[in-house]
Amino acid sequence: MYNRKVTVILFPGEDGGYAAFMPLFPSCTTEGGNVEEAFKNAKESLELALEETKPDDMECLEYSHPGHVIVGEVEVEVPEKVSVGVPS
């Protein structure tokens, strides 16, 4: 067993708290009432997922903590048939 750093991204939740995402492990999303809890829950979520690792998961670990991360935004066109979260 060995330790590995994994990049975790937090987004503010709608009702407070934070949602935690790990870009290379999209099935391991979680949340927490504050920053510390969100990071703690992200760690637990990923450790549980890695108990039954697949070869792809192990390869993702190799790239899971880059030297730096750039966060930006892009604007996309959403087809009319998609109505989730559309502003009024």
Say which DSSP state 84 is in. T
**Domain ranges for the chain:** 9-62
**Using 50, 70 and 90 to split pLDDT, how confident is the model at 20?**
very high
DSSP 19-70: EEE-TT-TT--EEESSHHHHHHHHHHHHHHHHTT--HHHHHHHHTSS-S---
Residue 5 has pLDDT above 70, yes or no: yes
Model pLDDT for residues 35-75, shown as the tens digit of each residue: 999 999 999 999 988 888 777 767 777 777 777 777 888 89
Is residue 77 within 8 Å of residue 17, measured between CB atoms?
A: no
The model carries a pTM of: 0.74
